[in-house]
């Protein structure tokens, strides 16, 4: 077309016409070239792009999060290497990967390869994250101090101030995110109680007598409420262990209802379904996410269950058979799960009481991996070993919570030969003891530093926004508190 136009131009007899045609031709060529360039000449990149890794410092077997673009949703198609050593990709989406830091790697540039296209990321450093330092650049060492927060070392069912209050068997603790109050499941008082930030203990629901009555909070009854979880609106969910039900306390209407579990008296079972058709067996621990899905440590069913807001019960991990196999449901096995908590990373964490380990569950895919613990697959096979997460040993885990930074806290009951009674912390790929004896020892009721402090069957833990840890010290009949303090290094 352009060549024909030029031919006409050449044959033209008018000089003015030639000028006009020359200008039009040049503009046409330029417009066409620009259009072609804008439409086709710059190909879109198909290479992956790493925008952020977190943390940038860590130990082997810790979890690394990688953010970026053009990753593969299939974990196996993302090849992540730490100075040439490949790490296992646990979960994947187009923009986010979680990776297990491999053993044998070294400090250096992180790389990711997707379908033969490779991108370099920031450097990852093997080692412990940097410690806090003072104004002189000296490392600040911390330790943990245990004190009594509420109640006394005698059973009772008394409301009032922290000093006046008495508990029968405080079994569960959780925080109300709307108020900052601590919610307590007082097991044999058959009641759910509140400890306000002002330090006043009140009763929310429960008649003091075992039962299964729904309705107004003044008449509602429970049967050994073990633990609670509170959603973003302040609704309280109760693991009603003796009734094999999950109950909901709606404080906007002051009513208690059953959202899952059999309709009959103490009806247990292992069935997925809606409402009363979704059967549970000794539900022990609870967690709730921002979408109001409730997760249940269904202990005697050896399963982790999920309850949607419309009451649909399904199985997320475990298949009814005790075990410690990682993988994807239904091939995953768990052994007497007693606690679950939801991390800020969107993953669910589960504690296996007899599997002696902590598991991490992707709630989207059901993929489950062990992130801490190396015990056997039965009661009595645990131990007390601090250190690297996959070499550490736990004993009879019963309670668990996770803070905003991803640090996990667990409580251990009486275990082998009547020992344990400890509070452990999982942070930066390491397990340490922050409350109770630093090795197998007997129970007690002593405040103080790790190794000195003593507990008697601490059944649950909850951590507040400041990082303070609250413990349901069941057989001491009190709520304890652990705070982080600077270690005295003057001697």
**Percentage, residues of the chain above pLDDT 90:** 72
Domain containing 359: what range?
Answer: 142-486
User: Does residue 168 belong to any structural domain of this protein?
Assistant: yes
* Arithmetic mean of pLDDT, 435-449: 90
Inform me whether the pLDDT recorded for 146 exceeds 90.
yes
Same domain, 62 and 164: no
295 and 358 part of one domain: yes
pLDDT in tens, 371-380: 999 977 777 7
**Domains identified in the chain, total number:** 2
- pLDDT bucket at 466, cuts 50 / 70 / 90: very high
Same domain for 153 and 296? yes
Do 192 and 313 fall within a single domain?
A: yes
Is 285 found in the same domain as 421?
Answer: yes
Same structural domain, 116 and 233: no
In this structure, what CATH number is given to the domain that contains residue 84? 2.60.40.10
What is the pLDDT averaged over residues 265-276? 91
- Residues 409-431: tens digit of each pLDDT: 999 998 766 688 999 999 988 99
pLDDT confidence band for 264 (50 / 70 / 90): confident
Query: Which of these three, 126, 159, 184, is where a domain ends?
Result: 126
Q: Are residues 215 and 86 in the same domain?
A: no
In a domain, 252, yes or no: yes
Among 409, 306, 400, 412, CA closest to 354: 412
Judge whether 87 lies within some domain. Answer: yes
What is the tens place of the pLDDT at every residue in 90-144?
889 999 999 989 887 788 889 999 999 999 998 898 876 656 666 665 677 889 9
What pLDDT sits at residue 417? 65
Q: Is the pLDDT assigned to residue 153 strictly greater than 60?
A: yes
Is residue 33 predicted with pLDDT exceeding 50?
Answer: no
Return the closest-CA partner of residue 369 out of 352, 394, 388, 393.
Answer: 352
Residue 21 lies in a domain: no
* Rounded average pLDDT over 225-238: 98
Q: What is the CATH number of the domain that holds 256?
A: 2.120.10.30
pLDDT value for 132: 67
User: Of 84, 99, 126, which one is at a domain's C-terminal end?
Assistant: 126
Tell me if 20 is assigned to some domain. Answer: no
pLDDT attached to residue 487:
84
Last residue of a domain, one of 67, 91, 126: 126
Task: Specify the pTM.
Answer: 0.78
- Tell me what the mean pLDDT of segment 68-83 comes to: 94
Predicted local confidence at residue 26, as pLDDT: 43
**Residue 491 falls inside a structural domain:** no
């Amino acid at each position: 077309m352009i060549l024909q136009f030029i031919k006409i131009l050449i044959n033209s007899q008018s000089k003015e016409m030639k000028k006009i045609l020359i200008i039009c031709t040049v503009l046409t060529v330029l417009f066409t070239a620009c259009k072609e360039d804008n439409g086709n000449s710059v190909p879109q990149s198909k290479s992956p792009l790493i925008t952020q890794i977190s943390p940038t410092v860590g130990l082997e077997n810790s979890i690394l999060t990688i953010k970026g673009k053009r990753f593969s949703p299939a974990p196996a198609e993302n090849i992540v290497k730490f100075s040439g050593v490949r790490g296992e990709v646990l979960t994947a989406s187009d923009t986010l990967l979680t990776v297990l830091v491999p053993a044998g790697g070294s400090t250096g540039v992180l790389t990711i390869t997707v379908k033969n296209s490779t991108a370099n990321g920031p450097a990852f450093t093997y080692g412990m994250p940097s410690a806090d330092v003072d104004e002189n650049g000296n490392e600040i060492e911390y330790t943990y101090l245990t004190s009594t927060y509420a109640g006394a070392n005698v059973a009772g069912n008394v409301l009032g101030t922290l000093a006046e209050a008495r508990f029968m068997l405080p079994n569960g603790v959780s925080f109300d995110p709307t108020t900052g109050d601590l919610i307590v499941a007082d097991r044999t008082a058959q009641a759910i109680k509140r400890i306000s930030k002002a330090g006043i203990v009140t009763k929310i629901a429960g008649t003091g007598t075992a039962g299964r009555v729904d309705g107004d909070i003044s008449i509602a009854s429970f049967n050994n409420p073990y633990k609670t979880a509170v959603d973003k609106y302040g609704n309280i969910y109760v693991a009603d262990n003796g009734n094999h039900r999950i109950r909901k306390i709606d404080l906007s209407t002051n009513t208690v209802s059953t959202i899952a579990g059999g309709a009959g008296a103490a009806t247990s079972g292992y069935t997925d379904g809606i409402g009363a058709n979704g059967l549970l067996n000794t539900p022990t621990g609870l967690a709730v996410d921002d979408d109001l899905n409730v997760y249940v440590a269904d202990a005697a069913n050896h399963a982790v269950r999920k309850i949607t807001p419309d009451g649909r019960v399904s199985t997320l991990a475990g298949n009814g058979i005790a075990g410690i196999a990682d993988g994807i449901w239904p091939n995953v096995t768990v052994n007497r799960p007693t606690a679950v908590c939801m991390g800020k990373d969107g993953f669910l964490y589960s504690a296996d009481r007899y599997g002696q380990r902590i598991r991490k569950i992707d709630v989207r895919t059901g993929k489950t991996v062990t992130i801490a613990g190396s015990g056997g697959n039965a009661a009595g096979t645990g131990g007390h070993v601090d250190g690297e997460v996959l070499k550490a040993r736990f004993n009879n885990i019963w309670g668990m919570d996770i803070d905003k930074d991803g640090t996990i806290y667990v409580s251990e009951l009486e275990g082998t030969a009547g020992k344990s009674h400890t509070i452990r912390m999982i942070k930066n790929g390491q397990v340490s003891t922050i409350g109770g004896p630093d090795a197998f020892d007997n129970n007690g009721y002593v405040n103080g530093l790790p190794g000195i402090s003593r507990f008697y069957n601490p059944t649950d833990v909850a951590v507040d926004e400041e990082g303070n840890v609250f413990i349901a010290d069941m057989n001491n009949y009190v709520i304890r508190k652990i705070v982080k303090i600077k270690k005295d290094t003057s001697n």
